[in-house]
Amino acid sequence: MSHRGAGHGGITHSGEGSGTARVPANETMSHGAMVGLGGDASLMLHGFLWPVYTDQGGVRGDDKFYVQSMAMATISAPFEGGKFTARTMLSLEPLMRHDGYPNLFATGEVAYGEALVDRQHPHDLFMELVGRLDIDIADGTTAFIYGGPVGEPALGPSTFMHRASARYNPEAPITHHWFDSTHITYGVISAGVAAPRWQLEASTFRGREPDEYRWNIEKPRLDSWSVRASYAPSPAWLLQASHGRIEQPEELHPGEDEHRTTLSAQYNNARGLSAMAAFSAKDREPGKTLTAWLGEVNYDLTDRHTVFGRIENVKNDELFPDHHDPLHDQPFRVTKFQAGYAYRVPLGPLNLALGGSAATYAKPAALDPYYGRSPFSYTVFARFSLGD
């Protein structure tokens, strides 16, 4: 999880997000349990269990009780001139049905041989299984290599699960497959150079998204690439730009590759306010270029009370996957407005957050017969976590 990066040799980098992504240096999260392993080596344990009930409104909406989960273990072993890190992240979300949970206007991946529409797929058992080696190459500058059978390439901002601006938001963004859908990739190798204020990196990875059978580790392959630049003008800010070529990401669209470009700006004032604004363009070959915008915020009013929100705008042509439907492959621009609240209760070594969110949507009138004129969704949750 993201934290102020106090690296080997006393080097202080901008905050570390998911994979090799950066977040603002001010973005600190409690690590959960820290265990000494002898010498300078240590084990960090973190995780959450997140029971959720959602009622996604409108004609195509649905309701469901489900449980999100994540467990993370990180071993760090500094040595003279560098540091080795091994990290694994697991989830029990494969216990859900293959089609996950209702999430109006979300698309991406496959379940039971059909494209997922108005639903969010569950995460795989293995969300990350990687190692990272950092070597000091100059005063305040390191070179690193990261990789493993399950990891995250250098593409897009830090994944929504690992951003403070989305800390208590119970729903995946409907723009997930524009910004951070590659956060579980079977086969990743990244290399880069990092300094206190900037980072340059490149990755090769498997482009195909995970299949619906989520208990196994799929065959790694290196057929796609990405590059990313990150810059921190101050501890409060992190700017990111990335581009990648993804080979045949979608199972139901063989032969269709994707060029993805993302830009993002993240802010954290170290006094309870975190926010992000981001843009993505998904240029498919062959196919149209589809763009998306995302803004989200999390504000800790006090030690107990938090408000959060998200606004997304996306141009999506996957809402009608049936080839016989007259609206098949027609792009529609949809906006989702979401606001929520969480109340935090410390429970010894654990933290409990009780809360909920509500969402409304703006969409073309052509979608009214399918979604209703003014669909409304709400979600309630209890989030148990070790660390934040």
Q: pLDDT digit string (tens) for 239-289? A: 999 999 999 999 888 889 999 999 999 999 999 999 999 999 999 998 889
Integer Rg of the chain from CA: 20
Q: Is 1 exposed, middle or buried (0-12, 13-18, 19+ CB in 10 A)?
A: buried
By C-alpha distance, which of 131, 129, 143 is closest to 8?
Answer: 143
By C-alpha distance, which of 108, 100, 99, 57 is closest to 371?
Answer: 57
Q: Which residues are registered as beta bridge partners of 295? A: 277, 311
pTM for this prediction: 0.91
Instruction: Kindly indicate the confidence band of residue 12, based on its pLDDT and cuts at 50, 70 and 90.
Output: very low
Average pLDDT, the chain: 92
Instruction: Kindly indicate the confidence band of residue 31, based on its pLDDT and cuts at 50, 70 and 90.
Output: low
**pLDDT for the residue 348:** 83
What would the two tokens of residue 213 be?
A: 């059978």
What whole-number distance in Å separates Cα of residue 371 and Cα of residue 60? 6
What whole-number distance in Å separates Cα of residue 162 and Cα of residue 1? 6
Specify the CATH superfamily of domain 3-386: Porin (2.40.160.10)
**pLDDT for the residue 35:** 84
Q: Where are the domains of the chain?
A: 3-386
User: Is the distance from CB of 137 to CB of 191 less than 8 angstroms?
Assistant: no
**pLDDT for the residue 14:** 52
Burial profile 119-128: b = 16 or more Cβ within 10 angstroms, e = fewer: bbbbbbbbbb
**pLDDT for the residue 2:** 37
Q: pLDDT digit string (tens) for 326-365? A: 999 999 999 999 999 999 998 888 899 999 999 999 999 9
Instruction: Kindly indicate the confidence band of residue 5, based on its pLDDT and cuts at 50, 70 and 90.
Output: very low
Cα angle 123, 125, 126 (rounded to 5 degrees) comes to 100
By C-alpha distance, which of 46, 76, 2 is closest to 232?
Answer: 2
Which residue spans within 33-100 are E strands per DSSP? Answer: 33-36, 42-56, 63-79, 82-90
What whole-number distance in Å separates Cα of residue 324 and Cα of residue 318? 13
Instruction: Give percent of the chain with pLDDT exceeding 90.
Output: 85
